[in-house]
Amino acid sequence: MAKFEDGLYYSETHEYVRVEGNIAVIGISDYAQHALGTVVYVDMPEVDDEFEAGDEFGAVESVKAASDLNCPVGGTVVEVNEALEDEPGLLNKDAFANWIIKVEMSDASELDDLMDAKAYEEFCSKE
């Protein structure tokens, strides 16, 4: 069963945001990693890349398919999780502990457009 961690913001494209001050820590939900199966590659942006909310910032790939990653909030990439380059399967081990990028938010009010854990769980149950 997929976990839905409280206190995070979730997008309809299955990314989560953990807010740390002005930084959005972004990854894929546990529900998403379950649906993907074993992750074999994570395509990540570079530090200083800028994205608007909804922009594609990379992809996660399973054996069979590539799934786009969309930036739930706009801002500038300040860090990418380099551990995923050598060990993409970390996303399967713990999707919430293994974030993908950290973004300095340009407009924190965009978080209001995202779902909380309860709303996201309900969203997934209808997929």
Partner 1 sequence: MNKRTCLYEKHEALGALISPFGGFDMPIQYSSIIEEHNAVRQHCGVFDVSHMGEVRVTGNEAEKYVNHIFTNDIKDAPLGKVYYGMMCYPHGGVVDDLLVYKMGENDFFLVINAANIDKDVAWINEQAQGYDVKIDHQSDYYGQIAVQGPEAEAVVEEVLHLACKELVFYTTKEMEVEGETIIVSRTGYTGEDGFEIYASHGLICKMWYALMASGRCVPCGLGCRDTLRFEVGLPLYGDELSDSISPVMAGLSMFCKLDKEEFIGKEALAQQKQEGVSQRLRGIELEGNAVPRHGYTVLKDGKPVGEVTTGYRLISVEKSCAVALVDASLRLGDTVEVQIRKKTFPGVITKKIFYDKHYKK
Chain residues in the site for partner 1 (CB under 8 A): 37-38, 40-41, 43, 59, 61-64, 66, 85, 88
Q: Is the CB of 76 or the CB of 89 nearer to partner 1?
A: 89
Q: Is the CB of 12 or the CB of 61 nearer to partner 1?
A: 61
Provide, rounded to whole angstroms, the least separation between the CB of residue 116 and partner 1: 29
Provide, rounded to whole angstroms, the least separation between the CB of residue 86 and partner 1: 8
Count of CA atoms in the C-beta half-sphere (13 A) of 22: 8
Q: In angstroms, what CA-CA distances link 105 with 12, 70, 85, 109?
A: 19, 14, 24, 9
Task: Give the three-class secondary structure for 99.
Answer: coil
Q: Is the CB of 64 or the CB of 126 nearer to partner 1?
A: 64
| Six token digits for residue 85 | 């380059």
Provide, rounded to whole angstroms, the least separation between the CB of residue 117 and partner 1: 26
Task: Give the three-class secondary structure for 126.
Answer: coil
